Amino acid sequence: MSSIPAPRSLLRAIACLVLSITLLPCHAAEKKYSTAQPVELTKDGRHWAEQTLKKLSLEEKIGQLFCTRYYMDFENFESEDYVRFRDQLQRYHIGSVILSVKVDGPLLLKSSPLDAATMTNQLQRESKLPLLVAADFERGLAMRMNDVPVFPDAMAFAATGNPANAERFGEIVAEESRAVGIHWNFFPIADVNINPNNPIINTRSYGEDPATVGEFAAAFIRGARAHGMLTTAKHFPGHGDTGTDSHLGVPQVNANLARLQSVELPPFKQAIAAGVDAVMVAHVSVPALEPSPNKVATTSEKVIQGVLRQQLGFNGVVVTDAMDMRGLTSLYPPQQGNIAGRAAVDALKAGDDLLLMPSDLDGAYRGVLEAVQHGEIPESRIDDSVQRILELKASLGLNKAREVDVQQVPHVVSKPEDMQFARQVADEAVTLVRSNGKALPLARMIPPPPIAGPYSTAPVQSSVQVVTIIMSDSVHGLWGRGLENAIKARRADATIFYVDSSLANPLSAPILQAVKDAGKVVVAAYLSPVSGKQVMVNGKLQNTVGLEQSQAYLFKQVMDLAAPKTVVLAMGNPYLAVSFPEIQNYICTFSAASSSELSAARVLFGELQPHGRLPVTLPGIAPRGAAR
């Protein structure tokens, strides 16, 4: 029997079908990756959360309530540390991980974006349910990674006066974070820094005006959520008027209800209105809201259910601050036994949904499990929190794809326009608070005109010597390196001194002699809030963002000797001048970031006109909003 040729149209259709089948693996590969889309809980996502909850055992549900810490740097996946963490992740059915980096003394051992993406993918493969991956990216990915845009602190954004900067910052952080597999930022800070002596908030806050803080926090939230990142307003009900770091002790906010309603709470209201996904509760005592001396906001039903849920109408996820902090653990005497378990149970009973970094994961997990088994906590209470957490995962599309495409990281992270935007924000933030018209600008070293012939000539030496004193917590850290490079690029003859508490006394004689001989002096004080930081003041250890005693004494000597020709750079804490009212030339960057160092140098040499305005009042020095 002879064959009949197929019609040309049929052959064409078969060819198209074969081609489409051939291309299917490529499309399937594209769909397996998690990509950044606006945060949105769809009907399908809610259904997935409901159905997933029904399938979980009690043990698995309890595990979803915990967020533990791991590191984003390179790790061999057969190493002892990684295997230990992987086993912990699976044994306790952990629902979320906060990624950080290791430290070496004053140095953060930052990783690369590719290392982070590789680690998040591996962690997702190890978990039965998709993991929520969080980070503290208050200044963007540069907090934990190298070769990314370096943004200044929140207070610097407020100094620019432009909330659109905060919104664009949120967009960039979201895009870069999602590209490396991180979904959740524990930011923005909604604390109103009305206490100049606050040792832990300071430049992390947008300032002292509640409306401004709320406006900038809301702007960041809108930008981040529109580009796929979960946000967190912290530290509820407000950590801005405290004199104690909750990493070291129990801070207290001694404000009446009227003050709380007018200062502390409004930024959180604005954050909630902007759609913030989570609120982090602080380990602070607020007697006006919770009179019990044995409870902080973290363990107070009055604060969480009464104020946050009912009064402010927040329906999202409530997160504890790190549960290994002394602000919480000091409330539980050692003889009580399982401290981590008791704290976890108290937090859940108060209304917290997610327990961040317990001091003892096994103790905390067992404590919650036993509390449910013995009827102290209804299982329905656990279900409520797990439902919220699963809905967060679904709002990011993690129920459909959880790994990221590592090959796309170099196309998304560290775009030239984003790097430039970080420098722009730092430039716009620089604020000139005081100037006597004599010290600024510094003169650049000008090279001579070229001379014909085979011989080169040395640069023209300025007759005015420039001396720079860089004060920081440790001369072994990175503080001041960027500023030194920027100054040396303009004045190769500049003399640079690095001073910390151990060197202030031994170096005082040569420094003071150099100051006396100098034509111009620059003192750069790197003072930023650091968890658990204590310095020696008047012979006693104090929790402060100020200068240590020996540094403060040297600083005062420099001012007494050469205030008219000295420019003080507050590379962080703007309140420094309050302790030294004799300062005549004062510039605030509100940040120690390398981008802020370059901006400060440009102002010193007259290359940049400062346009920032103070987001806080400097008592006796300048009011909020001031600028020269």
Q: Using CA atoms in the order 74, 79, 82, 87, what is the torsion angle rounded to 10 degrees?
A: 160
Instruction: Decide if 473 is catalytic.
Output: no
Pick the closest to residue 349 from 391, 277, 393, 295 (CA basis).
Answer: 295
The phi and psi torsions of 12 (rounded to 5 degrees) equal: -65, -40
207: left (phi over 0), alpha (psi -120 to 50) or beta: left
Which one from 115, 153, 321, 500 is the annotated catalytic residue?
321
Which residue shows structure tokens 């990314």?
Answer: 148
Sheet of 317-320, strand order:
232-236, 278-281, 317-320
Burial class (CB in 10 A: 0-12, 13-18, 19+), 508: middle
Helices 163-179 and 210-226 pack at an angle, to 10 degrees, of: 40
Provide the terminal-to-terminal Cα distance of the chain, rounded to the nearest Å: 99
Please state, in angstroms and as integers, the Cα–Cα distance from residue 533 to each residue in 138, 246, 248, 379, following that order. 18, 11, 9, 40
Which one from 93, 227, 239, 247 is the annotated catalytic residue?
247
Tokens standing for residue 82: 């990684």
With residue 273 as reference, give the H or E element that holds it.
helix 266-273
Instruction: Decide if 321 is catalytic.
Output: yes
Q: List CB contacts of 342: < 8 A, sequence separation 6 or more.
A: 332, 336, 367
The whole-angstrom separation of Cα 605 and Cα 558 is: 21
CA-angle at 49, arms to 302 and 57, nearest 5°: 85
288: left (phi over 0), alpha (psi -120 to 50) or beta: alpha
The whole-angstrom separation of Cα 500 and Cα 511 is: 13
Q: Which residues are catalytic?
A: 247, 321
